[in-house]
Amino acid sequence: MVCIGSSMELNSILERAEFKELPSDPVERVYRALEKIEKNRDLNAFVTVDAEGAIKKAEEIKRKITRGEKLGVLAGLILAVKDNISTRGLRTTCSSKMLENYIPVYDATVIEKVKAEDAIIIGKTNMDEFAMGSSTETSFFGPTRNFFDHSRVAGGSSGGSAVAVACDAVDIALGSDTGGSIRNPAAFNSIVGLKPTYGRVSRYGLIAYASSLDQIGPMAKNTLLTTLLLQVIAGRDLRDSTTLNKPVPNYIEEVLKEKDGIRIGVIKEGFENVDEKVSRKVYDALDILQKIGCVIEEVSMPFMKYALPAYYIIAMAECSSNLARFDGIRYGGKPVKGKWEEQLVKIRTECFGEEVKRRIFLGTFVLSAGYKEDFYIKACRVRRKIHDEFKFLLKSYNALATPTMPVLPWKIGELLSPLEIYMMDIETVAVNLAGLPAISIPAGFIGSLPVGLQLIGDHFDEATLLRISYAYENESGFNKWF
């Protein structure tokens, strides 16, 4: 069990989180969540809704309450899970035809943890196919729509999780972030999304896209619920050898600490090629941080401009290797007669979408003899430079700031070329290359469309990011914006 203090303390935490109804009747809460999902069906946030499983879990919690048994720290909270995180007995598709009927036979470590803390899993959320995309438009099940403007993209790839939170169907959600996939849809739907440090949260059971970059993280409407979910999922896992054996702090305690004297470096290059209106909104948010006692200074990261191409080369290389496992024989695909190689080609050709094929193809190319040194190895050298630049700046600053997204949510189908869509990740990918934690917090609206502020912290210092987010939330009141 996660220890965050007494249940009295938890109640006060949840009150602080503006979570008004404590889990007195979790079953009632599940029915309300199901109504919300139904009402917002056109947003296409969910691939699979598990009404039966959710009601069963809620009844179990209700019994615990009646008997006076100890409840988990997430008791009664409704949780949505991105559809690339394995859930035992519950279909997990990665929003791909390849896994349309795949039912995992084990739970991801994060799922074991949230279940042990009595979260109620209501369903699996839509995403870009195999998390390859920035708008949830590449899903086999169709795009998820932006909560604030249904003709626009939700962001991605964790678009379904972000919209499930924004439309109030769920209290908390799990996403995954390989190059911005938690932060991007969080910004586009005015919620909080945290990408933890690489190695902070187990990825056992996360269906891999690019293993040196992938990370599972929490999403919610406010800082405290985000923090609570991080508290539950963080920590060493022997089944994921990239998780580190570092103690997990009491994040709630950390978040409530004083924030005086926090130094934030504003990355100059992060404001190049950004919509001017978006920049202004982000600077306004930084003004609020200054007002509440943060020191704000401009800094420079000359190698930031190389992050995007380096990221795509590395991510594609890793994806071409990771997706080689999809042969349609042990799981996934479809029944095909013929020789093994014919089966393999037919299944992969028919069951992978265009963007996935493009990335497998380019990944194979950049790793092939004659090109590996020029592309993949050089991208890995750029990765070290970016890592070192971040580490140098984080010696003098507690956090670094940029806009989360360079533009406002675009119209569904508006960006036609793959390269145009890749460019949307310009602010977020450097963080994954360096394995750092980063958070997107709501920075306000331009018309009806939301803008996000990205804060980047040092390795394993999620607490500082959450502390800044909480202070900013109290000052700006973003948790009450909608």
Helix or strand or coil: residue 343?
helix
Site for other proteins in 381-400 (CB under 8 A): 381-385, 387-388
Binding mask 136-155 for other proteins (x = CB under 8 A): --------------------
CA distance 144 to 159: 6
Helix or strand or coil: residue 253?
helix
In the annotation, is 95 catalytic? no
Using CB under 8 A, which of the segments 35-43, 56-64, 222-230, 236-244 binds other proteins? 236-244
Q: Which amino acid is residue 153, in one-letter code?
A: V
Smallest gap from residue 360 Cβ to other proteins (A): 5
Is position 247 an interface residue for other proteins (rule: CB under 8 A)?
no
Smallest gap from residue 182 Cβ to other proteins (A): 17
CA atoms within 13 A on the CB side of 414: 12
Pairing type for strands 449-457 and 399-403 reads antiparallel
Task: Give the bridge partners for 78, in sequence order.
Answer: 120
Site for other proteins in 419-448 (CB under 8 A): 419, 422, 434-435
In the annotation, is 190 catalytic? no
Is position 470 an interface residue for other proteins (rule: CB under 8 A)?
no
- As given in the structure block, the two tokens for residue 383 are 């990765």
Select the residue interacting with other proteins from 11, 21, 297, 345 (CB under 8 A). Answer: 345
Q: Which is nearer to other proteins, 75 or 426 (CB)?
A: 426
Site for other proteins in 90-109 (CB under 8 A): 101-103, 105-106
Select the residue interacting with other proteins from 374, 391, 392, 480 (CB under 8 A). Answer: 374
Q: Which is nearer to other proteins, 271 or 303 (CB)?
A: 303
CA distances from 452 to 302, 443, 481 (A): 23, 5, 14
Q: Which is nearer to other proteins, 99 or 264 (CB)?
A: 99
Smallest gap from residue 184 Cβ to other proteins (A): 20
Site for other proteins in 190-229 (CB under 8 A): 198-199, 212
Using CB under 8 A, which of the segments 22-30, 72-80, 185-193, 370-378 binds other proteins? 370-378
CA distance 462 to 458: 8
Q: Which is nearer to other proteins, 150 or 381 (CB)?
A: 381
Q: Which of 96, 181, 190, 202 is catalytic?
A: 181
- As given in the structure block, the two tokens for residue 15 are 């009150």
CA distance 429 to 301: 14
Contact criterion met (CB below 8 Å) for 277 and 283:
no
Contact criterion met (CB below 8 Å) for 79 and 120:
yes
Q: Which is nearer to other proteins, 75 or 307 (CB)?
A: 307
Q: Which of 95, 157, 190, 440 is catalytic?
A: 157
Q: Which amino acid is residue 47, in one-letter code?
A: V
- As given in the structure block, the two tokens for residue 6 are 């007494």
CA distance 429 to 427: 6
Site for other proteins in 47-86 (CB under 8 A): none
Smallest gap from residue 444 Cβ to other proteins (A): 32
Site for other proteins in 281-310 (CB under 8 A): 305-306, 309-310
In the annotation, is 246 catalytic? no
CA distances from 386 to 265, 377, 424 (A): 16, 14, 19
Smallest gap from residue 241 Cβ to other proteins (A): 4
Is position 175 an interface residue for other proteins (rule: CB under 8 A)?
no
Q: Which of 57, 82, 221, 259 is catalytic?
A: 82
Select the residue interacting with other proteins from 342, 392, 396, 448 (CB under 8 A). Answer: 342
Torsion angles phi and psi, residue 300, rounded to 5: -125, 145
Is position 339 an interface residue for other proteins (rule: CB under 8 A)?
yes
Smallest gap from residue 99 Cβ to other proteins (A): 9
Sign of the C-alpha dihedral, residues 108, 109, 110, 115? positive
Select the residue interacting with other proteins from 153, 379, 438, 466 (CB under 8 A). Answer: 379
Bond preceding residue 161 cis, omega within 30 of 0 = no
Select the residue interacting with other proteins from 32, 62, 64, 334 (CB under 8 A). Answer: 334
Smallest gap from residue 290 Cβ to other proteins (A): 32
Smallest gap from residue 463 Cβ to other proteins (A): 19
DSSP letters along 264-325, please? EEEEGGGGTT--HHHHHHHHHHHHHHHHTT-EEEEE--GGGGGHHHHHHHHHHHHHHHHGGG
Number of shown-chain residues binding other proteins (CB under 8 A): 72
- Residue found under tokens 């310009």: 426
- Torsion (CA) 441, 445, 451, 453 in degrees, nearest 10: -40
Catalytic residues: 82, 157, 181
